[in-house]
Structure 1
Amino acid sequence: MSTNTGTARTAGVTAAAAATFVVFGINGLVFASWAARIPAVTEILSITSGQMGTLLLCTAVGSLLALPTAGLVVGRIGTANAVRFGGVLAAAAGVGIALSLSAASIAGTAVSLFFFGIAIGLWDVSQNIEGADVEHRLRRTIMPQFHAAFSGGAFIGALVGAGLSNLGVGLPAHLLAIAGVVLVATLVAPRYFLPHVASVPPEGGAKPAKGPSAWRDSRTLLIGVVVLGATLTEGAGNDWIAKASVDGLGTADSTGALMFALFVLAMTAMRFLGGRVIDAYGRVAVLRASMAAAAVGLGLFVLAGNAWIAAAGAALWGIGAALAFPMGMSAAADDPHRAAARVSVVSTLGYVSFLAGPPLLGYLGDLVGIHQALLAILAPIVVALLLAGAARPLRKE
């Protein structure tokens, strides 16, 4: 009987891992379907980089309102229902964006992006909590592979975006199709999720010891600051590589989308390999090496005199940006019984830069050009390097 129970539990964890992988992948697909075609948005709405930054800020505000309470939502309705709610809202917002772009309505696009941000914020925290649960059950580092699924979905989304741009397919039609995919995937996949581990008492039935609020826990806050600095390099790359390629290198929109796809492909590859690398060398060493690679890649991309060198820089930038966010999520979830609250805190702090940083770069881009504005990312990269020790695990890696 115990053998059958153990087999069933193993199968359940395997199914949950597969479902989590799918949910992360669809999240990346929907994000890239928007990000890869930002140049088309500026053309449809006839707006500047700074005005595009304001639209992106609408997404950031929505997410930043949702993130601090996402842990509480997950605690009440579970990760599966939280992902379902986030997916349905994201699909509805995608339809709103498509209709607003068809009408060339800046206001409608802004409102739709606000709700899109709320949906993505809730969806992101929920999938990371589920991923942390699976990681604890498997007893090995797998979070980077879930984030590789996100990057893989984004890579596919970027390629689709580039292809549709070349074929002259409008962005509204593209977004409507993606909304349908999101709706189906987020309603079906979460049925295989595990019950959140925080609802399961420790061995022996004892209640977990109470500790300080996640917002007053010094380690959690330091991890959040590290993630805040580190994830700006990923967020800026996601939102601005395509546009910076077009403006700074004079490439076509489709080439800009391909440059974004290369950035995402490099992140995807590194995230698939990242679990073994982290287990071998430790979070702190890998985080520092990642930030160094991101700085060098960023410099190459911005200072390159031609598209080929810029492409090499974009790839190295993607490699450096790959592991910071998943390592932050794993570090926040080291204590599984406090994971929901702490992942919510670290996600909130990380998304301050991940979502709010790129719009600010858009404003700076109006002054110096978005291509040169990307050099401002070097400052938070240095901060992440200096504070990387905060991600040291509570347990032995």
Structure 2
Amino acid sequence: MNNSLNIHKIHLWKIAIYFFFALPGFAIASWVSRTPTIRDALGATTAQMGWIIFGMAVGSIVGLLGASHLIAHKGGRFVMVTGMAVSSVGLVIVGMGGTWLINGVAVFAGLAVFGFGNGICDVAMNVEGTAVERATRKSLLTGFHAAFSVGTLLGALAGAAAIKAGMSVVVHLALVVAVIVVSVIYLYRLVPAGTGKETGENSNVSPMTARERMAVWKERRTVLIGIIVLGMAFAEGSANDWLPLVIVDGYKVTPATGSFAFGLFVAAMTIGRAAGGILLDRLGRVVVLRASALSAIAGLLIVIWGQSYAVAIVGIVLWGLGAAFGFPVGLSAAGDDPRGVAARVGAVSTAGYLAFLVGPPVLGIIGESVGLLRALIVVLIGVTIAGLLSQEAKPIGEPNQ
């Protein structure tokens, strides 16, 4: 009876984490859907809007770097809930700054707060995800990341509906915050307290000092897993920022066709992540990472040197399927050791987000000289390196594959 009760609690924990992954995606897409309205209200140029949006990147990096220390002292659930609360406050500031105050600095500050909340929440929910994997002995992190994609899609659809209905930015974002707050109030009770917390109360896992948590950045395995995630996240981030333009400029199609190509990429990636758990349990991390790298390499080669849009579409699907696994599988590998799990997941998450934030602008600079299609060769190199290092993600203690 006691065993069945524990199984039920773990099942509820797993469901709660699916929702905790979906909520940040919902929030981010809600903000993104209102960027044109806020830009017009501020009267900002493209360059000025770029600097305003940079506030989110600043907040996210600070949150990612500090998350492991917070989790070690307070536990994953506390940091996850705090992150969602902070990001909600940031979203309200963004709405008010963009429409009531009409102040770019206020929007920048709101995005920095929003980004910080998302940053600490991101690490905490991945720490929780790896803990659920250990409790169930199943590969679940790709599915959790698929839930983030679903949340993003729902946020985009809700944003489009709000715009069509003529809803103001403040009201729209206030409703988004209300959905997040109500969801978190209900869900947090389903998540056990103390995941990732290092207090010394558990005799089997001695707590890490702050110096030891910083030292994980020098660990060979953590660094190499970070490089895997860096390469694969670059493949994902470059598509998120540049794929419509790559297809429009490279294949001389309409913007609508370019948007369709991006939608196809996102769909392929989401399907890959949804099916990822089954593949990982049957084939193992190393095989799946190698196969995903090969898929992304093949897709990029087809897109770069394809002779027609119809051929490029095949490449986009392969690229999307290949980009689906690197980030979540790398985070899962980083969480193998319960001692210092928050520090290692935080380090690998930071590597991935650096690829998301720094990679696309670099691609734009290179693309200015050689064209966006040829600039994708840099992404191809990153994915190839990630594929060659796939062996490093094997579970600790498992023989070489």
Q: The TM-score by the shorter chain falls in which range?
A: 0.7 to 0.9
How far, CA to CA, are the matches of 1:105 and 1:363 in structure 2? 30
Instruction: Measure, in 2, the Cα distance between the counterparts of 1:251 and 1:383.
Output: 34
The aligned length equals 392
Structure 1 residues without counterparts, runs of 5 or longer: none
Structure 1 residues 280-301: Cα deviation after superposition (integer angstroms, max 9, x where no partner):
2221221122123223434555
SS at the partner of 1:336? coil
1:179 to 174, 177, 180: 177
Unaligned runs of 5+ in 2: none
Tell me how far apart the structure 2 counterparts of residues 36 and 300 of structure 1 sit (CA, whole Å).
Answer: 31
Q: Which amino acid aligns with 1:182?
A: I
Aligned residue number for residue 328 of structure 2:
326
Mapping of residues 371-390 of structure 1, within 5 Å:
376-390=378-392
Q: Distance in 2 between matches of 1:51 and 1:365?
A: 21
1:87 aligns with 2:89: no
- Which deviations, in whole Å up to 9, do the C-alpha atoms of 1:296-342 show, x marking residues without a partner? 43455566787766655443332111111110111001112331121
Query: Corresponding residue for 1:285?
Result: 287
Deviation at 1:220, TM superposition (A): 1.0
| CA shift digits 1:51-93 (9 cap, x unpaired) | 5554443322221112122111112222112111111111122
Q: Distance in 1 between matches of 2:91 and 2:310?
A: 34
* Alpha-carbon distance change, 302 to 166 in structure 1, aligned in 2, over 3 angstroms: farther
Matched with 2:67 is 70
Q: Measure the CA separation in 1 of the matches of 2:225 and 2:346.
A: 12
* Contact 1:53 1:363 (C-alpha < 8 Å) held by counterparts: no
The one-letter amino acid of 1:33's match is S
Matches of 1:360 and 1:314, distance apart in 2: 21
Find the aligned partners of 2:337 and 2:253 in 1 and give their Cα distance.
49
Aligned 8 A contact 1:245 1:259 in 2: yes
SS at match of 1:140: coil
The question of whether the paired residues in 2 share the 8 Å contact of 1:57 and 1:355 is answered with no
Query: What's 2:114 paired with?
Result: 116
Aligned to 1:93, what secondary structure does the other structure show? Answer: helix
Distance 2:305 2:161 in 1: 28
Contact 1:20 1:190 in 2 (8 A): no
The Cα shift of 1:385 comes to: 1.9
Residue deviations 1:135-165, cap 9 Å, x none?
Answer: 1010111111111111111222334445556
For 2:30, the aligned partner's letter is S
TM-score of the pair, normalised by structure 2: 0.83
**1:28 pairs with 13, 25, 28, which one?**
25
Counterparts of 1:318-397 in structure 2, within 5 Å, are 318-362=320-364, 376-396=378-398
Cα distance in 2 for partners of 1:25, 1:363 equals 33
Query: Cα RMSD (Å) of the superposition?
Result: 3.6
Instruction: Give distance in 1, aligned partners of 2:94 and 2:245.
Output: 19
2:75 alignment partner, SS class: helix
Cα distance in 2 between the residues matched to 1:225 and 1:342: 13
Identity %: 35
